[in-house]
Amino acid sequence: MVKRLLPYLFPLTAAILLVVLESDVLYALQEQNLFLHTPLFYEQQMVRAGGLLTWIGSYLTQYFYYPMLGAGILCLLWAFFMWLCKRAFQLENTWLTLIPVACLVLTITTLGYWIYYLKLPGHAFCATIGSIVTVALVWGYRAVPRRYHLPSVYIIFAAELGYPLFGFYGLMATALMALLTWKDDKRRWEDISLAVTLIILWPIKNYYFEYHETNIVNIYWAALPVFAHQGARFFAYNIPYIILFASMVLMALKPGIKSMKWLNVTIVAVVAICLLKYWNKDENLHRELSMTRSVEAGQWEKVLKTAKGVKDEPTRLICMMRNLALFNQGAKTTTGYRDGAKRPAAPFTIHTVHTAGKLLYLQYGIPNYCYRWCMEDGVEYGWSVEKLKLMAMCSILNGESVAAQRYVNLLKKTDFHKQWAKRMEAVIQDQRLVLQVPEFKHILPLLRDDNFLTADQSQQELFLIEHIMSTPGATPEQRRLADFTMNYYRSNHQKLVEQ
């Protein structure tokens, strides 16, 4: 019994590692996610193939608000997936299922800065839920009696329902059914051709008659994340997905692989090495995420503690958050902290306005620019809890109470941000409370009435420094904040331009 359960320790270990090492990443995933308990939110997901999957994915991503809870759910789902694989593919060796589960873990741990840029809602859970659905549909197919053309009917059912609701995963299930039929009984060519026909034609039919939000070139990949940015595609991030689907094919074709000690040890070793090698260990990103969380919570000591621990050259975002913390703590210099401008470890240029820069615009007392980038990114990369919160705060500071109420009303429809929304609602109803809200305490002295028509060209820090230093209306507090960067700015201007 214990021996049989041994493989299930793997998802448990992976979940524990996620909580220990990636707590800030998991928290950031839910901050970049949005799930609303409204019919409109559901309808907006269902206008694309795979809509139900993204709806479920978005729902479950919320639980990363408590990273342990979210990771616990993932752990249970991975264990269930392993159990399901064993049943559906009639596996003799459960250890084989470690391969797809490791891929599922990697779909989260390799993301890095993609957490800000991926456009697929609920992507952290989509691969896991989608894979479960795929295997469950295959299991159902196996269970269908082989008479009265029931297998054919089931294939039609699986493709016709699977694709609209789960996108690619529905097609994958249909493909696995064709594969199993081919393996078990080659005479049933009609089921094989039916499955192949449905895989090819059903997305096309849906393109012309059901959905109008997906380019025809992308219809077969519905509900899979697209790793593309600034016109370039980054194929490497798809590898965990490819191995995941390949492992399903392997399990379907070779279920009889016996459980042998050397094989099981090899699987565990390979999986462990892959996880170790490809797990994103970018220290700067982890520090940025941790500091962002601390800035949101007003934990300035923690921000400085995290900044102090920087071993490598820090990114400008780390320096900006540190400077803000030093300013808020009344410090005079940045002595004792490492300065730098290391480019974020991503395969494309990262602009701070797309990451924590929105929060920093607010903290630097320019709510209009924070609001602007929330809107821009909300449109391009999808709405998120973080953006709605920031937009609500910007609207409150700008005196736009109806707009603020709109964002607060939406946040009241979430599971974990209701209390925050209710707190802000009280401020909207009584503007005098603004002075008592901890989130606004340090921002209020930095707010300015003078207006300039300008643009940041996505170069946030450069813009902030030049705006503060070149405009006469800058408050002494703003100048004091800008002073923290001035030394670095004077000697590293070009580095800032390149950011």
Partner 1 sequence: MKHAFYILLTMCLLACSGPQVPSQYKESQAEVPIYPDYQDVTVPENIAPLNFELLIQSDEAVVRLSAAGEEIVCEGLKIRPDIDDWKALTQKAKGDAISVEVFADIKGQWIRFKPFHIYVSADPIDPWLSYRLISPSYVSYEELTLNQRCLENFDEEAFVDNMLCSTESGGQCVNCHSYQQWNPDRMQFHARQTHGGTLIAYDGKIEKVDMRHDSLLSAGVYPAWHPTEKLIAYSTNMTMQAFHTAAPEKIEVLDSESDLILYDVDKHEVTTIEKQPNELEIFPTWSPDGKWLYFCSAHFVYQSDSVDRSEITMRANEVKYNIYRKSFNLKTRQFGEREMVFCADTLGKSATFPRLSPDGRWLLFTLGEWGCFHIWHHDADLWMKDLKTGEVRAMDEINSDDTESYHSWSSNGRWVVFSSRRYDGVFTRPFIAHIDAQGRGSKPFELPAKDPDLHRQFLKSYNVPELMKGPVKLSPQEVASKLKDDGKPITYKSK
Provide the binding-site residues for partner 1, judged by CB under 8 A. Answer: 36, 38-40, 119, 207-208, 212-218, 226, 228-229, 231-233, 366, 368-369, 371-372, 375-380, 383, 398, 400, 402-403, 405-406, 409-410, 448-456, 467
Q: CB of 484: closest distance to partner 1 in angstroms? A: 20
Q: How far is the CB of 245 from partner 1 (least distance, A)?
A: 20
CB of 8 vs partner 1, minimal distance in Å: 38
Our CB check for partner 1 shows the closer of 34 and 180 to be 34
We find the least distance from the C-beta atom of residue 352 to partner 1, in angstroms, to be: 16
Asked if residue 46 lies in contact with residue 55, where contact means CB atoms within 8 angstroms, the answer is yes
Provide the CA 180 distance to its chain's centre, in angstroms: 34
Closest by CA to 12, choosing from 277, 20, 23, 64, is 20
Between residues 26 and 118, which has the closer beta carbon with respect to partner 1?
A: 118
CB nearer partner 1, residue 99 or residue 359: 359
Contacts of 115 (CB under 8 A, 6+ apart): 25, 28, 29, 32
Rg for the chain, CA atoms, rounded: 25
The least distance separating partner 1 from the CB of residue 473, rounded to whole angstroms, comes to 9
Interatomic CA distance for residues 240 and 220, integer angstroms: 18
Q: Closest separation between CB of residue 376 and partner 1, Å?
A: 4
Q: How far is the CB of 385 from partner 1 (least distance, A)?
A: 14
Nearer Cβ to partner 1 (222/310): 222
Q: In whole angstroms, what is the distance from residue 54 CA to residue 47 CA?
A: 11
Beta strands in 141-278 (DSSP E): 228-229, 232-233
Cβ 152 vs Cβ 190: under 8 Å: yes
Residue closer to partner 1 by CB (options 178, 474) is: 474
Please, which residue, 272 or 375, has the CB nearer to partner 1? 375
**Beta bridge mates, 228:** 233
Q: Between the CA of residue 84 and those of 77, 81, 88, 251, 473, what are the distances in Å?
A: 10, 5, 6, 12, 65
Given the complex with partner 1, which of 144 and 346 has the nearer CB atom?
346
Coil vs helix vs strand at 232: strand
Q: Least CB distance from residue 319 to partner 1, whole Å? A: 23
Using the minimum distance from each CB to partner 1, give the nearer residue, 102 or 350. 350
Q: Which is nearer to partner 1, 336 or 399 (CB)?
A: 399
Q: If 0-12 CB within 10 Å is exposed, 13-18 middle and 19+ buried, where does residue 148 land? A: exposed
Sign of the alpha-carbon torsion through 83, 96, 52, 194:
negative
Complex with partner 1: residue 209 or 262, whichever CB lies closer: 209
Q: Distance between CA atoms of 273 and 277, rounded to whole angstroms?
A: 6
Distance in Å, CB of 368 to partner 1, minimum: 5
- Cite the DSSP H helix spans in 32-97: 39-45, 51-61, 67-88
Closest separation between CB of residue 214 and partner 1, Å?
Answer: 6
Amino acid identity at 107: T
How far apart CA 75 and CA 318 sit, in angstroms, is 32
338 burial level (CB within 10 Å; 0-12, 13-18, 19+): middle
- Rounded to 5 degrees, φ, ψ at 133 are -60, -45
| CA dist., res. 449 & res. 443, Å (int) | 13
Smallest separation, CB 470 to partner 1 (Å): 12
Measure the CA–CA gap between 458 and 281, rounded to whole angstroms: 26
Nearest approach in angstroms of CB 208 to partner 1 is 6
Give the Cβ contact number of residue 490 at 10 Å.
8
235/262 with CB nearer partner 1:
235
CB of 176 to partner 1, least distance (A): 28
Q: Which is nearer to partner 1, 293 or 389 (CB)?
A: 389
335 vs 451 by CB, closer to partner 1: 451
Select from 461, 486, 495 the least CA-distant residue to 313: 495
Long-range contacts made by residues 348-351, C-beta under 8 angstroms, separation at least 24?
A: 348/229, 348/230, 348/232, 348/234, 349/230, 350/113, 351/458, 351/459, 351/460, 351/499
